Amino acid sequence: MSWLKRLFGSAVVTKEPAPIAHGERLPTIEEMNRIIPAMGALMEKHAGFGIAVFDEGLLPASKGRVEFVLFCAIGITKDEQQARMLSAAMLHLADYQPTVGPKPIAQLPALPDPGSMTSPEAIKAAAEAILSHSNTSAYALFEGRIQQELARLRSLADKALAERAKRIGKQPKQ
Q: What is the pLDDT of residue 7?
A: 37
State the residue range of the domain holding 72: 2-106+143-168
**pTM score:** 0.70
Q: What is the pLDDT of residue 150?
A: 95
Has residue 136 got a pLDDT over 50? Answer: no
Q: What is the pLDDT of residue 19?
A: 45
Residue at 131 is within a domain: no
Query: Which residues have C-beta within 8 Å of that of residue 83, sequence separation ≥ 6?
Result: 74, 77, 161, 164
Has residue 155 got a pLDDT over 90? Answer: yes
Q: What is the pLDDT of residue 109?
A: 56
pLDDT band at 112 (very low <50, low <70, confident <90, very high): low
Report how many domains make up the chain.
1
For 112, the 3-state DSSP assignment is: coil
pLDDT digits (tens, 9 = 90+) for 1-19: 443 334 334 333 333 344 4
Residue at 69 is within a domain: yes
Residue at 11 is within a domain: yes
pLDDT digits (tens, 9 = 90+) for 25-52: 899 999 999 999 999 999 999 887 778 8
| Pairing label, strands 52-55, 105-106 | antiparallel
